[in-house]
Amino acid sequence: MLRTIVVIAAFVSATFSANPLMTKYADMQSPCVKQCADKLVNVSTSIDFTKNTNFGQRFSHLDGICRNISVARQCVNDCKVSFNMFDMKAMKVMCVEKTLAELKTHQSCYDGKSKVMNKICDKRCGGKIEDTETKLKHIVNASKTTAEDIEASMTAAADACELSKCHARCSRDTYSLLCKESDPQASAFLQKYIEDILKAVSDDFTELGMRSVLKAIMPKQCHYIFRPAAFFKDLPESEENDAGQGALAALFQNPQ
């Protein structure tokens, strides 16, 4: 789901030619940066723990993923662009050495129970996260940056976000049950790790000046990106989360 939000953010940024986010978007499209990113095949999928809940597979590859991110970070630095996506806080938080060491203590639980957990949660949540992500990707790729296209993207994003929350909560609860005797802390670590990444993503959006735009257009089902604790627990909606009706139309009528 993190990748979903980034895709939509780039899509919206590209809609407004005078938007300051375009500079960062242009940096990401430069040939030099693309060469760096091409070295990391499927990394965006691998690091998106809210997109695919096969944590055994994801976590077992995390050391290699973090090494590749470090290489890509230096590669983009050498491109001399103003924005380096691999230098974002979220990319660093997920690769803290102390956290990776603690993760290894829970690896046996994640490796041994992921298939059972996925089967349980696919049934409980009524679908696979990958299916809704694929649907959203097709909508975004086929769109022509009109208000109707973005509205369709937001509807698909709302479905994906809702399913992601269901899977996250089901995964935590299922690991807690399946690893109750062998590793009672595995589910708590999983929740904190993902919440820490989500908080870092939220901080990155704030620093990039994307927070207010995203809050105005993202469906409320996805607002956990601004309140990470809401990913695993229903919270009362705050006034901050009420973006107001018509915000999307206003953006199209008055692009800055």
Which of 120-129, 164-173, 198-207, 237-246 has the weakest average pLDDT?
237-246
| Confidence label for 158 from pLDDT (cuts 50, 70 and 90) | confident
The candidate with the shortest Cα–Cα distance to 118, out of 76, 39, 175, 74, is 175
Q: Is 211 a residue whose pLDDT tops 80? A: yes
Higher-confidence position of 165 and 11 = 165
Q: How confident is the model at residue 134 (pLDDT cuts 50, 70, 90)?
A: low
Q: Would you say residue 151 has pLDDT above 60?
A: yes
- Segment 180-202 shows an average pLDDT of 93
Return the top range by mean pLDDT from 38-42, 54-58, 181-185, 244-248.
181-185
pLDDT value at residue 241: 43
Give the per-residue SS3 of 17-73.
Answer: CCCCHHHHHHHHHCHHHHHHHHCCCCHHHHHCCCCCCCHHHHHHCHHHHHHHHHHHH
The pLDDT score that the predictor gives to residue 132 is: 62
What pLDDT sits at residue 54? 62
pLDDT value for 210: 81
* Amino acid (1-letter code) at residue 50: T
Q: What's the whole-number mean pLDDT along residues 187-213? A: 89
Average pLDDT over residues 213-223: 84
Distance set, CA 194 to CA 124, 125, 179, 234 (Å): 21, 19, 19, 16
Instruction: Please write the tens of the pLDDT for every residue from 54-92.
Output: 666 677 778 888 888 898 899 999 998 888 888 889 889
Question: 47-71 burial string, b = 16+ CB within 10 Å, else e?
Answer: bbbbbbbbbbebbbebeebbebbee
Residues 6+ apart with CB under 8 A from 237: 220
All residues at 6 or more sequence positions from 225 whose CB lies less than 8 Å from its CB, including other chains:
2, 5, 198, 201, 202, 205, 214, 218
Per DSSP, the three-state class of 82 is coil
pLDDT at 154: 77
Contacts 24+ apart (CB under 8 A), 225-229: 225/2, 225/5, 225/198, 225/201, 226/202, 228/195, 228/196, 228/198, 228/199, 228/202, 229/195
Confidence of residue 45 (pLDDT cuts 50, 70, 90): very low
Q: What is the mean pLDDT of residues 158-174?
A: 89
Between 117 and 37, residue with greater pLDDT: 117
